[in-house]
Amino acid sequence: MTGKVVNLRQARKRRARAEKERRAEENRIRFGRTKAERNLSEALREKHVRHVDGHRREDDGE
């Protein structure tokens, strides 16, 4: 019976890299947004702030 010789150190490192990549993929799905999505959110927020500020009443000092 001859089997394949496995370097345990390399196997552990390979398994650790696979686990790290799996966690990174989960985080990308959970937290990730594209640059376009971030820019759109910021532009909409700024537009909303300008809209609200444009409708404020001036204080007469009373």
pLDDT by residue (tens digit) across 5-57?
Answer: 999 999 999 999 999 999 999 999 899 988 999 999 999 999 999 999 998 88
Question: Is pLDDT above 60 for 62?
Answer: no
Please give the torsion angle defined by the CA atoms of residues 29, 30, 35 and 40, in that order, rounded to the nearest 10 degrees: 120
CA pair distance 42, 47, nearest whole angstrom = 9
Q: Residue 26: give the domain boundaries.
A: 8-54
- The number of domains in the chain is 1
Burial class (CB in 10 A: 0-12, 13-18, 19+), 34: exposed
Q: Is 43 part of a structural domain of the chain?
A: yes
Q: Is 61 part of a structural domain of the chain?
A: no
Q: Is 25 part of a structural domain of the chain?
A: yes
Q: Is 59 part of a structural domain of the chain?
A: no
Q: Is 1 part of a structural domain of the chain?
A: no
Q: Is 26 part of a structural domain of the chain?
A: yes
